[in-house]
Amino acid sequence: MRRVLVANRGEIAVRVIRAAHAAGLETVAVYSDADAESRWVQLAGTAVHIGKSAAAKSYLNSAALVEAARETGADAVHPGYGFLSERPGAVKELTDAGLTFVGPSVSTIETMGDKAAARDAARRADVPIVPGSGPVGDVDEALAAADDVGYPVLLKAAAGGGGRGIRPVASREELADALPAAQAEARAAFSDDTVYLERAIDGARHIEVQILADHAGTVVHTFERDCSVQRRRQKLIEEAPAPGLSAETRADINEAAVRLARQVGYVGAGTVEFLLTPSGEFFFIEMNTRIQVEHPISEAVTGVDLVSEQLRIAAGEPISFAQDDVRIRGAAVEFRINAEDPDNGFRPTPGDLSTLDLPGGPGVRVDTGFVAGDRISPFYDSMIAKLICSGPDRDTALARGRQALAELRVDGVPTTVSMHRRLLDEPGLRAGAVHTRWLEGLLPEPT
């Protein structure tokens, strides 16, 4: 592996380019019409234009990526997150073209991308799963399954993910109408109308475990993150380690993630997501077979450079450390700075970024793909930057977060900065007593 094509944009493209250069690898950036002047294009060794602004015509166009790799002599592709990262068909096109994919195999992506297959794998690995059913085809089948699972239930699209394709159902009466609606939605969104049932769990926290696995079969974790501060299942604040977790639960949940990764023969960086109930039970939800947006908080508390480990693993090298070498040192919190208006129902706010003044100091890291003067494009997700604050303990990390958010100035587009400043005063957040519906409970109802 000598030259890595970075098949992504924004902050993660910058992150991967930095890690690759630090590892002595050359880089190739790709860009759409909208991103021609971007920071990652300037940072990479070479850059190739791959199409129009719409993602379907650029970052999702695997043929264009293969061509860009061929043209520039790239021998590996790092997918970042989103876009092609979890699309087995596209990844197969890359690997069939002889490129090393920085991530797991096509069949692993396929298995973990299929909710039913992923649950089966978890069951075999003795990892607890949320009580649920197999695929339900008709209303009678669904009613029988829901009686077993217990109401309230969630109807979930087998091909869904990232919080999409989920419909809550409170009672038997609602299920008859909800099933065909959920099937139609699943068909429309994922071209697959397979749905299944899962018990809805109230007051649960979203805990996820970062794992790394190499080609020699070594699997390690770099502990957990708590990503419970969400809106419509989109994460806004993440913390590492999860506050208030008992040593026993921490050990159990991290070991469960490692067991699942072993079970599926995982290779690369991945995240195993769990729900942790108020009574301390945890259940597997899904595995993300890629680097995650919130990976820097794990880096901050463990000192492990996850992207550089990804590159090592892809090159066939072993993970650079052993499980026993990894300790949690302190705490870290990440705030997602999105071009969304929190005072206006989180309406997306594309536009021109006139100011981007970044904070600094000990324990303050900002990952961004933008500079002042850039346009925040309507064609991609709304993230402008990630602010990661860490310290020897949680209070220090939060205090540094408060200061950093006070210093951070983003003008030109409304952002989530104002919301983060307010949330830091919330007793629930300060106490670490949040769950996945906590933020929605605080926000005014959408108008």
Partner 1 sequence: MTTIKAQMPGVFYRRPAPEKPVYVDDGESISEGQTIALIEVMKTFNEVKADASGTVAEFLVEDGDEVDVGQDIVRLGET
Site of interaction with partner 1 (CB under 8 A):
52-54, 56-57, 187-189, 191, 339-340, 348, 350, 378-382
Tell me the closest approach of the beta carbon of residue 52 to partner 1, in angstroms: 7
Cis ω on the peptide bond leading into residue 241 (within 30° of 0)? Answer: yes
Tell me the closest approach of the beta carbon of residue 371 to partner 1, in angstroms: 19
Q: What is the DSSP string of 257-319?
A: HHHHHHHTT--EEEEEEEEE-TTS-EEEEEEE-S--TTHHHHHHHH---HHHHHHHHHTTPPP
Output 182 or 339, the one with its CB closest to partner 1: 339
Tell me the closest approach of the beta carbon of residue 445 to partner 1, in angstroms: 18
Q: Which of 290, 312, 394, 400 is catalytic?
A: 290
Give me the residues paired with residue 49 across strands. 31
How many angstroms separate the CA atoms of 158 and 194, rounded? 6
Q: What is the DSSP letter of 129?
A: B
Tell me the closest approach of the beta carbon of residue 346 to partner 1, in angstroms: 9
Per-residue tokens: 11: 């902050």
Output 54 or 328, the one with its CB closest to partner 1: 54
Q: What is the DSSP string of 4-26?
A: EEE---HHHHHHHHHHHHHTT-E
Output 36 or 216, the one with its CB closest to partner 1: 36
Tell me the closest approach of the beta carbon of residue 289 to partner 1, in angstroms: 20
How many angstroms separate the CA atoms of 423 and 195, rounded? 36
329 is catalytic: no
> Cα–Cα–Cα angle for 97, 99, 105, nearest 5°?
100
Longest dimension (CA), the chain: 61
Give CA torsion, residues 127, 128, 134, 138, to 10 deg: -160
Output 226 or 374, the one with its CB closest to partner 1: 374
* Distance, CA of 3 to chain centre: 25
Q: Where are the alpha helices (DSSP H) in 315-393?
A: none
Tell me the closest approach of the beta carbon of residue 325 to partner 1, in angstroms: 38
Tell me the closest approach of the beta carbon of residue 56 to partner 1, in angstroms: 7
How many angstroms separate the CA atoms of 2 and 434, rounded? 44
Q: Where are the alpha helices (DSSP H) in 50-87?
A: 62-72
Cis ω on the peptide bond leading into residue 342 (within 30° of 0)? Answer: no
Per-residue tokens: 216: 């020699």
Output 57 or 262, the one with its CB closest to partner 1: 57
Output 22 or 181, the one with its CB closest to partner 1: 181
How many angstroms separate the CA atoms of 349 and 183, rounded? 32
How many angstroms separate the CA atoms of 399 and 394, rounded? 9
How many angstroms separate the CA atoms of 242 and 240, rounded? 5
Output 56 or 181, the one with its CB closest to partner 1: 56
What residues are annotated to the active site? 290
